[in-house]
Amino acid sequence: MGLAGFEVEVQRRVAGGGVVTEDMTLSMGPQHPSTHGVLRFVVRADGEVMKEAIPDIGYLHRSIEKIAEKVGWHGFIPYTDRVDYVAAMFCNHGWARAAETLGGVEVPKRGEYCRVIADELCRIHSHLLGVGSMAMDIGAFTPFTHAIREREYLNDLFEELCGARLTFHYMRIGGVGWDLPPGWSDKVLHFLDRFEPIVEEYDRLISYNKIFVERLANVAIISPQDAVDYNLVGPNLRGSGVSYDVRRDDPYSVYPELEFDVPVGRGEVGTLGDCFDRYIVRMREMQQSCRILRQCLRQIPDGPVIAKVPRNFKPPAGDCYVRVESARGDMGWYVVSDGTAFPHRCKIRTGSFAAISMIPLVSRNLMIADLVAVIASFDLVAPEIDR
Amino acid sequence: MSLINTVPDMALTARVDDLLNWTRKSSVWYMMFGLACCAIEMMQTGGPRADLERFGMAPRATPRVSDVIIVSGTLTLKMALRTKLLYDQMPDPKYVVSMGSCANCGGLFQLAYSVCDGVDKVIPVDVYVPGCPPRPEALTEGLVKLQQKIQQEKWLVRKTDPVGVRA
Amino acid sequence: MEAASIHARLRERFGDAVGDLTGSGRTVGATVEPARIAEVAAWLRREPALLFDCLSTLAGVDYPKRSVIQVVYVLYSYRLRHWLTLRVDAPRDDPRVPTVTGVWSAADWQEREAFDLLGVQFEGHPDLRRILMPEDWPGHPLRKDFVEPQEYHGISTSRESLLKA
- pLDDT score, position A29: 79
Distance from C-alpha of A48 to C-alpha of B105, rounded to nearest angstrom: 41
Three-class secondary structure of residue C160 per DSSP: coil
**Domains in chain C, please, with CATH?**
3-156 (3.30.460.80)
- pLDDT score, position A3: 45
Q: What is the pLDDT of residues C99-127, one digit of tens each?
A: 999 999 999 999 999 999 999 999 999 98
ipTM: 0.94
| Mutual angle of helices A142-162 and B37-45, in 10-degree steps | 110
CB contact under 8 A, B78 and C133: yes
CB B50 within 8 A of CB B41: no
CA neighbours closer than 13 Å in the CB half-sphere of residue B155: 12
What is B24-54 written as a DSSP string? HHTT-PEEEEE-SHHHHHHHHHTSSSS-SGG
CB contact under 8 A, C157 and B122: no
Distance from C-alpha of B163 to C-alpha of B166, rounded to nearest angstrom: 9
CB contact under 8 A, C85 and A321: yes
Sort out which chain B residues have CB atoms less than 8 A from A125's CB and list them: none
**Phi and psi of C21, rounded to 5°?**
-75, 125
Ramachandran area for residue A318 (φ above 0: left; ψ -120 to 50: alpha; else beta): left
CA neighbours closer than 13 Å in the CB half-sphere of residue C77: 20
The chain A residues in contact with chain B (CB within 8 A) are 1, 30-33, 35, 37-38, 58-64, 66-67, 70-71, 78-79, 81-82, 85-86, 129, 145, 148-149, 151-152, 155, 165-167, 382-383
Q: What is the total residue count of chain B? A: 167
**Phi and psi of A47, rounded to 5°?**
70, -115
Distance from C-alpha of C17 to C-alpha of C44, rounded to nearest angstrom: 14
Sort out which chain B residues have CB atoms less than 8 A from A37's CB and list them: 34-36, 39
Beta strands C54-63 and B68-72 are: unpaired
Sort out which chain A residues have CB atoms less than 8 A from B113's CB and list them: 63, 66
A310 contact partners, CB below 8 Å, separation of at least 6 = none
Q: Tell me, yes or no, if A272 comes closer than 8 A to chain C by beta carbon.
A: no
- Exposure of B52 by Cβ count < 10 A (0-12 exposed, 13-18 middle, 19+ buried)? buried
Ramachandran area for residue B60 (φ above 0: left; ψ -120 to 50: alpha; else beta): beta
Sort out which chain C residues have CB atoms less than 8 A from A347's CB and list them: 57, 59, 61
CB contact under 8 A, A242 and C61: no
Q: How confident is the model at residue A4 (pLDDT cuts 50, 70, 90)?
A: very low
Q: Which of C24, C31, C57, C157 to mutate to test the interface with A (most CBs of A within 10 A)?
A: C57
Distance set, CA B137 to CA A192, B39, B52, B141 (Å): 26, 14, 10, 6
Residue whose C-alpha is closest to residue C22's, from C43, C4, C44, C2 = C4
Helix and strand numbers (H, E) in chain C are 3, 8
A322-340: average pLDDT: 93
The chain C residues in contact with chain A (CB within 8 A) are 23-27, 53-57, 59, 61-62, 72, 74, 78, 81, 85, 104-106, 108-110, 117, 129-135, 141-142
Q: In whole angstroms, what separates CA C102 from the centre of its chain?
A: 15
CB B118 within 8 A of CB B105: yes
Domain B31-151 is found in CATH 3.30.420.40: no
Looking at chain B, the whole-number percentage of residues with pLDDT higher than 70 is: 89
Three-class secondary structure of residue C58 per DSSP: strand
CB contact under 8 A, C141 and B117: no
Q: What is the pLDDT of residues A128-180, one digit of tens each?
A: 999 999 999 988 888 999 999 999 999 999 999 999 999 999 999 999 999 99
Q: Which of C28, C65, C103, C142 to mutate to test the interface with A (most CBs of A within 10 A)?
A: C142
Res. A37: pLDDT tops 50: yes
CB contact under 8 A, C152 and B77: yes
Residue whose C-alpha is closest to residue C69's, from C51, C55, C88 = C88
- pLDDT score, position A36: 85
C12 contact partners, CB below 8 Å, separation of at least 6 = none
Q: What is the pLDDT of residues C29-47, one digit of tens each?
A: 999 999 999 999 999 999 8
Average pLDDT along chain A = 90
- Exposure of A147 by Cβ count < 10 A (0-12 exposed, 13-18 middle, 19+ buried)? buried
Q: What is the pLDDT of residues B96-155, one digit of tens each?
A: 999 999 999 988 998 898 999 999 899 999 999 999 999 999 999 999 999 999 998 887
CB contact under 8 A, C157 and B77: yes
Question: What letter represents residue A229's amino acid?
Answer: D
Alpha carbon of B125: minimum distance to chain A alpha carbons (Å): 19
C62-73: average pLDDT: 93
Res. A356: pLDDT tops 50: yes
- Exposure of B34 by Cβ count < 10 A (0-12 exposed, 13-18 middle, 19+ buried)? buried
If one compares A229 and A13, the residue with the highest pLDDT of the two is A229
Ramachandran area for residue A218 (φ above 0: left; ψ -120 to 50: alpha; else beta): left
Instruction: Give domain limits for chain B.
Output: 31-151
Distance from C-alpha of C53 to C-alpha of A261, rounded to nearest angstrom: 25
- CB-closest option in A4, A242, A332 to C56: A332
| Mutual angle of helices A184-202 and A109-138, in 10-degree steps | 30
Q: What is the pLDDT of residues B79-95, one digit of tens each?
A: 998 899 999 999 988 99
Question: pTM of the prediction?
Answer: 0.91
Sort out which chain A residues have CB atoms less than 8 A from C25's CB and list them: 101, 320-321
Residues linked to residue A334 through DSSP beta bridges, in sequence order: A321, A347
Residue of B nearest to A75 (CA): B108
Distance from C-alpha of B140 to C-alpha of A263, rounded to nearest angstrom: 40
CB A257 within 8 A of CB A232: no
Alpha carbon of B117: minimum distance to chain C alpha carbons (Å): 6
CB A53 within 8 A of CB A359: yes
Q: Which of A252, A320, A333, A345 to mutate to test the interface with C (most CBs of C within 10 A)?
A: A345
Alpha carbon of B74: minimum distance to chain A alpha carbons (Å): 7
- pLDDT score, position C151: 86
Distance from C-alpha of C24 to C-alpha of C49, rounded to nearest angstrom: 21
Residue whose C-alpha is closest to residue C132's, from C116, C121, C152 = C116
Q: How confident is the model at residue A2 (pLDDT cuts 50, 70, 90)?
A: very low
Q: Tell me, yes or no, if A109 comes closer than 8 A to chain C by beta carbon.
A: no
Distance from C-alpha of C86 to C-alpha of B65, rounded to nearest angstrom: 54
- Exposure of B53 by Cβ count < 10 A (0-12 exposed, 13-18 middle, 19+ buried)? exposed
Distance from C-alpha of C146 to C-alpha of C9, rounded to nearest angstrom: 40
- pLDDT score, position A90: 95
CA neighbours closer than 13 Å in the CB half-sphere of residue B51: 7
Sort out which chain B residues have CB atoms less than 8 A from A81's CB and list them: 37
Average pLDDT along chain B = 87
Distance from C-alpha of A35 to C-alpha of A291, rounded to nearest angstrom: 29
Alpha carbon of B165: minimum distance to chain C alpha carbons (Å): 11
Q: How confident is the model at residue B10 (pLDDT cuts 50, 70, 90)?
A: confident
C132-158: average pLDDT: 88
C65-71: average pLDDT: 92
Q: What is the pLDDT of residues B55-80, one digit of tens each?
A: 999 988 889 999 999 999 999 998 99
Sort out which chain A residues have CB atoms less than 8 A from B34's CB and list them: 35, 37
